[in-house]
Amino acid sequence: MSFVPGLGLVRGMALTLRRFFEPKVTNLYPEVPASIPPKFRGRLQLLYDEYGTLKCETCFQCAQACPVECIDMGGVDTKGRYAIHWGPPETYGERREESALRRAGRTVPDPVYEHFHGIDLHAVDEILEGFDHDPKELLGILAAIQAEYGYVPVAALKRVSQSTGAWYAMLYGTATYYDHLAVGAPAAAPGRADEAYLGALDGALSGRGARPDAADDAPAGER
């Protein structure tokens, strides 16, 4: 074959002529977006900024968008001590919203929390200090809060979540799971920490009549 002079020339020319009529591989990007296979997910990659710190802000948008729920996040708590698993993927939505709002510097709107502005959270802070802000001692913390307040206020759950780094929805789920914990008691349910506040409130209202349900105050756990 190769002894025929000029055959390579002819074969090369034939090759380019075939290429001339073949479909082109150029991607006409702005007009025609690239055709991506439906199962294509790209490559997961954590990026670092120029200071060597992670750019990830744990906003969980990726985890929420992940259709096969393969993205998960873990880390350490706010004091850099304990490994935390951020929870099951089906609940990332809630986490993401809160986290995004907190990053934006706004308070997290919570219609239940609004009722509990009056609650004194110093007791919760003392309990947390006693448990060393350890999310592994979650049941102990919650039991102590239940003993302190007579129920588990949503505001206390928020504080525990913030302080230990444990995920709020996980705390909420734990607290509502156990029978000995009562979450989100009505405003009328007093605990020991609220006595002073409610007494002061009663005193302030004494001139205009008592609170409507002041008479039937009952421990929240019994409801």
Partner 1 sequence: MAMLSRTFGRLTLPGKIVFTAVPLLLVLAAGLTAAVVIVGPVVLTFLGDNVPLVRFVVAATIILLMTVPTAFLIIYMEMKVIALMNLRYGPDRVGPYGSLLSVVHGLKVLMKEDFTPTGADPLVFTWAPIVVYVASVMTLVVVPFAPGLFGLDLNIGLLYFFAMGGLGVVGLLMAGWSSFNKYSLLGGLRAAAQIVSYEIPLTLSVVGIVLLSGTLSVNQITLNQSGSLFDWYVFRQPLAFVIFFIAATAEANRTPFDLTEADSEIVAGFATEYSGMRFGFFFFAEYVNVFIVSGLTVALFMGGWNAPFDWPWPIVAQPDLSGMGIGLLFALALIPPLGILVLGLPFYLVNSQVKLWQALVIGFVLFNLVAVAALVGFAFLSFDWVVGLLWFLTKTYGFVFLFVWMRGTLPRVRIDQLMGFAWKWLLPASLLNLFVTALAILVVDGIR
How many chain residues interact with partner 1 (CB under 8 A)?
13
Quick count: other Cβ atoms within 10 Å of Cβ 186?
Answer: 11
4 contacts partner 1 (rule: CB under 8 A): no
What's the rounded Cα separation, in Å, for the pair 203 and 108? 32
Q: 19 or 43: whose CB is closer to partner 1?
A: 19
For residue 112 the two structure tokens come to 């239940």
For residue 163 the two structure tokens come to 């302080």
The residue from 1, 28, 32, 36 that contacts partner 1 (CB under 8 A) is: 28
The residue from 1, 2, 3, 20 that contacts partner 1 (CB under 8 A) is: 20
Among 52, 36, 197, 182, smallest CA distance to 116 is for 197
Cα 181 from chain centroid (whole Å): 23
- Tell the smallest beta-carbon distance from residue 16 to partner 1 (Å): 4
30 contacts partner 1 (rule: CB under 8 A): no
5 contacts partner 1 (rule: CB under 8 A): no
The residue from 12, 118, 140, 186 that contacts partner 1 (CB under 8 A) is: 12
Among 204, 35, 194, 38, smallest CA distance to 123 is for 194
Q: Where on the chain is the footprint of partner 1 (CB under 8 A)? A: 9, 12-13, 15-17, 19-20, 22, 24-26, 28
